[in-house]
Chain A
Amino acid sequence: METIRYTGGKPEKEVFQVIGETLRGLFESDSRVVYLDADLMSSLKTQNLWKEYPENVFNTGIQEANMVGTACGMYLNGFKPYVHSFTPFASRRVFDQLFISGAYARKSIRVIGSDAGIMATHNGGTHMCFEDVAMMRTIPDVCIVDVSDPTMCGAFLKLTKDRPGVTYIRTPRRDLPDIYMPDACFEVGKGKVLRDGSDVTLFACGIMVSTCLEAAELLRADGISARVVDAVTVAPLDEELVLRCAEETRALVVAENANIHGGLGSAVCELLSAKRPTRVIQVAVEEQFGRVGIERDLRRYYGLTAENVVEKAKEAIKTKI
């Protein structure tokens, strides 16, 4: 089991700070690392990097599709590109480029999609993207990281630097609590058990990981022992871990800040229906577009709350097969 430092308080560093610092470290250690942005450097607070590393940082202007195509071309010519935009523009808008110029052409490219799901808050429906996970999951050999803590974001930026194919890192820019120890080790395709339990597994990714830690505490008060797992990478899924949780707790709640169709919940159900039929209940966004609001109100509206996870966990336990 992973040692964690979750308190629910403010993080030591916000995600955007970690991204900036990590990119700086990457430029210093590998001159072939490049970062392209389509006019959202001020959002990620990376303008200084642009000034300091003019041979590593490029602002294409507001042209996400061309940014991805360009990044793929730079890979072909020996570079290691990272690109950034808000999630809808880093996934849905550029999907054809990612699929054809990127994945199909066997390029290595890392895509940072910021303001994942409800974390687009005030920007509302045009910026709130729940479908990115489902779309990205259809790319062969993709790696999808739904960031649950700032340390994890930095770690994956580093460890996927030379990874072949498309790596998609979806993350909030701020307000993500610390969960992992600063020296935590991550691996593509390896989930982490954050809390042990025997009655039900709360299997989560992204912002729902801390929510599930809260839910497990609420369940404990009701005498229910809930295991909490961070999927870490939605794809590739840690199948061994999912099967072990199914075997040992025989009930799962899968929670994600994404569309109920095609995301982590779907991945878990696809696996379990084939290999070990198990009761699974999903907590995710159902048949809804994005909308305006602060995080707390959006969580309530879409059911992304600890209380909803608790309710679904009790239901899953009651209906175990």
Chain B
Amino acid sequence: MTPISKTLRKEALFLSHKCQDGNLQSVFSCLDVVWTLYDRIMNWSPETAQDDDRDFFIISKGQATLALYPVLIEKGMFSMDEIAPEIGQFKSRYCIQTDLTKFSGGIENNAGSLGHGLPFAVGIANANLIKKSPSQVYVLCGDGEFCEGTMWESCIFASAKKLDNLCVIIDDNDSVGAMVDMGSFHAKLTAFGFDVFEVNGHDMEETEKALRELRGMKNGKPKALIAHTVRGYGSPTMTEHDIWFHKAPNEAELEMLVKEVDAF
């Protein structure tokens, strides 16, 4: 793993430890994609975080909020010194699901109720189209989240409105496979009128290349990136044991997991 991948994971571990909550498997699976977006793709910076024409990042899989904070810390939007002491505390702005109402800039949506982020992103993209804004909309969804009906309803509308300024990223960590057989995302989304690319979501070069190419395809079709990822990627313990879907590390576990990330 690259040094930044390790840094981000260790920050997520620390935040989860501080607030004694979190969905770390899900956080670790999407961290590399979220970083790639903010670092290499999006027209976004802390200074332009409230500009009309900024690119939007919508976190539809809200349980991965602890992936977003480390990225925004490394980008200079938030500081660890501010988040760590208060995360999860009563009246804190920071919890394991983002709360738009407590921020002016940096956080674009309330996350946690699944099947909400994609419709919201479609609305932003449709508005961008009407306003002739160059702003692009990136929305991070879980593979399991695609069981919700609203996800497919949004896909119909996005395609009908020719929203080629929308890029749906599926963090395909095979959560859904444990419950139902979804078949091929690629075939389904293609049938819904999307341009679909697939990448290894832990390979930043490959992810960047695909996102750049999709961004350039102004052909009236919404975009989808299927990022093949691994739950808990970066920690063998977390990958192996599903209890880490929703568990916070205690002091000893934190130390053990940090070591695993360092050695990965």
Could you list which residues of chain A lie within 8 angstroms of chain B, going by C-beta atoms? 38-39, 42-43, 59-66, 88-89, 93, 122-127, 291-294, 297-298, 301
Contact = CB atoms under 8 A, between A and B. Distances in A.
Contact of A127 (B113, B142, B149, B179): B113
Contacts of A63: 147-149
Nearest to B22: A122
A63 B150 CA distance: 9
Given A126-B110, A292-B88, A61 B176 contact: yes
The secondary-structure label for the interface of chain B is loop
Contacts, number: 80
Contacts of B253: none
B42 to A, nearest CB: 24
A65 B245 CA distance: 24
B179 A59 contact: yes
Nearest to A61: B147
Nearest to A93: B113
A124 B112 CA distance: 9
B242 A66 contact: no
Given A59-B180, A61-B176, A62-B114, A123 B149 contact: no
Contact of B95 (A65, A88, A124): A124
A206 B154 CA distance: 38
B180 A61 contact: yes
Interface residues of B, number: 33
A124 B144 contact: no
Contacts of A66: 147, 149
A297 B92 CA distance: 12
Interface of B: 19-21, 62, 88-92, 95-97, 99, 101, 110-115, 142, 144-145, 147-149, 176, 178-180, 242, 245-246
Given A61-B179, A124-B95, A292-B95, A301 B90 contact: yes
A228 to B, nearest CB: 28
Contacts of B114: 62
A127 B147 contact: no
Contact of A122 (B88, B91, B111, B148): B88
Nearest to A37: B179
Contacts of A38: 147
Contact of B113 (A65, A126, A298, A301): A126
Given A60-B180, A126-B97, A298-B90, A88 B113 contact: yes
Contacts of B142: 62
Contacts of A293: 89-91
A38 B113 CA distance: 13
Contact of A292 (B92, B115, B145): B92
Nearest to B95: A292
Contacts of B95: 122-124, 292
B115 A62 contact: yes
20 contacts: A42-B242, A42-B246, A60-B179, A60-B180, A61-B147, A62-B115, A62-B142, A62-B144, A63-B147, A63-B148, A64-B148, A89-B113, A93-B113, A122-B20, A124-B97, A125-B110, A126-B112, A126-B113, A127-B97, A293-B91
Contacts of A294: 90
A294 to B, nearest CB: 7
Contacts of A125: 97, 99, 101, 110, 112
Contacts of B90: 291-294, 297-298, 301
A122 B113 contact: no
